[in-house]
A and B are shown apart, each in its own frame.
Chain A
Amino acid sequence: MRSVFLICRKELNSYFASPIAYLLMAFFALIFGFVLFNATRDFIRYSFQMQFQGGGGPMSINDQIITPLLGFTSTITLFLVPLITMRLFAEEKRSGTIELLLTSPVTDLQIILGKWLGAMLLFLCILAMSMINLALLFAWGKPDLKPVLVAYLGLILQGGCLLGIGALISSMTKNQIIAGGVTFFVVLLLWLLSWSTANDTGVLSQVLNYLSIVTHFDNFAKGVVETKDLVFYFSMIFFSLFITSRAMESLRWRA
């Protein structure tokens, strides 16, 4: 476990030693703030209208601002993940530092877990930027906290899944651009799976729908924690990291 944390810390340090961590955090904060501003402005305008003209349904900050906002955030993660994971293994393979890791008394699994955890922590730092904005909503409004926490849990689990897939792809190439590009398309595909099958009830489309990472987030966004979604995310994380360790081993044999 000591080795896992050691490698995790090294990863996190190298993210923050380059501009990449700050850039991702800044751009995420910018986009999130922009969307939140628009959603809040519309919400306030709408609530004024209702006050003066009467009528309309009940208003809820949770349903009308936070849920769509965090749903949108789950889409932004699709773009963030390739940028986070592309360097994980590809850079070490190119610069040769992978030889240091693989000839040190640590197992492949410890290396992979450490790297994934490092990527995960950066992802959490990026997500944390959105909390600054949400804190404002909590300061002046009275949204319900629990569904927000559940949505964050969903974001984190979905992020962990995607980061696992990104790590797997990064472990298969020396080229960061290829790692990032392929990850982006794979992640995009997993997202699109939910589009094509939304109105179909055949078995195949249901399977595809189940495989889509985004469909499992929908429940979390509504504030519902379902066991099947938890199982899906945890098994995806486990599966992708397991395949990564297999990929590293097969590369050793072929190398």
Chain B
Amino acid sequence: MIKVEGLTKRYARTVAVDDISFEVEKGQIVGFLGPNGAGKTTTMRVLTCFLPPTTGKVTVAGFDVQENPMEVKKRIGYLPESPPLYPEMEVIEYLRFVGKLKGIASTELRSRVDEVIERCAVADVRTRLISKLSKGYRQRVGLAQAIIHNPDVLILDEPTSGLDPKQIIETRELIRSLAGDHTIILSTHILSEVEHSCERVIIISQGKLAAIDSVANLTNRLRGSEAVALEVDASSGRPSPADVQQRLGTVSGVRGVRLKDSRNGRLVFEIESLQGRQIRGDLARTVVNAGWNLNELRSVGLSLEDIFLQLTAAEQKDVEQPEGVQA
């Protein structure tokens, strides 16, 4: 459905996207993962014909974005990072406007507008001015706008950013419900977002493709090494942080130990394991054997930065020896 070959986008001084190639099959949900400024938005803007590529060939549904932008635009629904809403319009007025703009015939317009209003759950604000809507409703109206012409491809730029947890869940469900008939690309910088809604992930970092894989494969690869938060009671002033850190560093399979917090009589460490090692049991035993009180031990998700480090340096890490204590 979407085919990107050697896409490079250069701005005046910076290279935003550097030689990216990928393909997306019909009906798939693909997550576009990367930290801020990685080039996600730029890539999406090229796909939607908003920006022309500097070099490379991008086709959507068989149409080239540069040679046949009209055909591509007809088949794409796009929700930019901030929903493109006109504050002075009412919701229904806005959706009618977008519907006509996307070329929906006037005989179909009413039924299409009614359908997206229901699907995106904005029926109770249909005659409200957009400027009076809450962030969550705005996002939903933005989504309604993107699907109003029933596009083959849906491109969503950070669809859940700035929403509260309940709204995030609702939006995710909405996106998943759209999956069957649409090919969806959504960008995010939150890993769990991808796990929840996508089948495949494209990870980009600093404009370059870092990984492209199915979600299952990727999470397996990442779960191989884990980060653990460990809290030891030190209300009596003992043990000293250095002591604990040294002892934990000697546990086999540990790659590094970092002191995160030592206030209020507790010592909090973050410990990272080597690839493919389970270390929680050993850590617990070490603490208890030393006679300290173990307050908490839990696995923490890897941050996106860690993932990039792992993905880009995966080969070296496997052969690396334990580094021992890190200050």
List the interface of chain A (C-beta within 8 A of B): 2-3, 6-7, 10, 13-14, 17-18, 95-107, 252-255
B121 shortest CB reach to chain A, Å: 21
- A105 B97 Cβ-Cβ under 8 A: no
Give every chain B residue within 8 A of A255 (Cβ-Cβ): 11, 51
Query: Measured between alpha carbons, how far is A103 from B102 in the docked complex, in Å?
Result: 9
Question: Nearest Cβ distance between residue A101 and chain B, in whole angstroms?
Answer: 7
CB neighbors of A among B231-264 (8 A):
none
28 contacts between A and B (CB under 8 A): A2-B100, A6-B101, A7-B101, A10-B97, A13-B88, A18-B88, A95-B84, A95-B85, A96-B81, A97-B84, A97-B85, A98-B84, A99-B45, A100-B80, A100-B98, A101-B101, A103-B48, A103-B50, A103-B76, A104-B101, A105-B70, A105-B103, A106-B101, A107-B70, A252-B51, A253-B52, A255-B11, A255-B51
Interface string of B75-103 (1 = CB under 8 A from A): 01010111011111100000001101111
Closest 8 CB pairs of A and B: A100-B84, A17-B88, A97-B84, A105-B73, A103-B48, A105-B74, A104-B101, A99-B80
Residue from B52, B78, B81, B86 in contact with A103 in the complex, judged by beta carbons closer than 8 Å: B78
Interface residues, chain B, with chain A CB atoms under 8 Å away: 11-12, 45, 48-52, 70, 73-74, 76, 78, 80-82, 84-89, 97-98, 100-103, 145
Contacts of B11 in A (CB 8 A): 254-255
Q: Nearest Cβ in chain A — how far from B111, in angstroms?
A: 19
Residues of A within 8 A of B12 (CB): 254
Which of the residues A3, A14, A253 comes within 8 Å of B101, measured between beta carbons?
A: A3
Question: B82: which A residues are within 8 A, CB to CB?
Answer: 95-96
Q: How far is the CB of A206 from chain B (nearest CB, A)?
A: 41
Which residues from B are CB-within-8-Å of A17?
A: 88-89
Q: Which of A14, A104, A254 contacts B86 (CB 8 A)?
A: A14
Residues of A contacting B51 in the complex (Cβ-Cβ under 8 angstroms): 252, 255
CB contacts (< 8 Å) of B74 on chain A: these are: 105
Report which of A14, A100, A106 forms a contact with B88, defined as CB distance below 8 A: A14
Q: Are A103 and B49 in contact (CB under 8 A)?
A: yes
Chain B minimum-CB-distance residue to A98 = B84
Chain A residues, CB < 8 A from B103: 105
Closest to A9 in B: B97
Residues of A within 8 A of B89 (CB): 13-14, 17
Chain A residues whose CB sits within 8 angstroms of the CB of B97 once the complex forms: 6, 10
Give A241 to B100 CA distance when docked, in angstroms. 24
Cβ contacts under 8 Å, A2 to chain B: 100
Task: Indicate whether A252 sits within 8 Å of B102 (C-beta atoms), given known contacts A14-B88, A97-B85, A105-B73.
Answer: no
The listed residue with most B CB atoms (<10 A of its CB), out of A2, A96, A105, A254, is A105
Chain A residue nearest in CB terms to B78: A103
What residues of A have a CB within 8 angstroms of the CB of B80 in the complex?
96, 99-100
A10 CB contacts on chain B under 8 angstroms: 86, 97
Give the contacting residue for A104; candidates B73, B81, B87; CB below 8 A.
Answer: B73
Residues in B with CB closer than 8 Å to A107 are: 70
Determine the chain B residues whose CB is within 8 A of the CB of A95 once the complex forms: 82, 84-85, 87
B84 to A99, Cβ gap below 8 A? yes
Residue contact B84 to A96, C-beta cutoff 8 Å: yes
User: Which residues of A are found within 8 Å of B85, using beta-carbon distances?
Assistant: 95, 97
Chain A residue with minimal CB distance to B48?
A103
Whole-angstrom distance between the alpha carbons of A95 and B85 in the complex?
Answer: 8
**A96 to nearest B CB, angstroms?**
5
* A252 & B52 in contact (Cβ 8 Å cutoff): yes
Question: What is the bound-complex CA distance between A14 and B90, given in angstroms?
Answer: 11
Q: How far is the CB of B318 from chain A (nearest CB, A)?
A: 42
Q: How far is the CB of A42 from chain B (nearest CB, A)?
A: 44
Are the C-beta atoms of A104 and B102 separated by less than 8 Å? Answer: yes
Contacts of B73 in A (CB 8 A): 103-105
Give the docked Cα–Cα distance between A14 and B45 (Å): 27
Q: Looking at the complex, which one of B78, B101, B102 makes contact with A99 (CB distance below 8 Å)?
A: B78
Also in contact, A100 and B100, with CB within 8 A (given A105-B74, A252-B52):
no
> Which has the most chain A C-beta neighbours within 10 Å: B49, B78, B84, B88?
B84
A107 to B71, CA, bound (A): 12
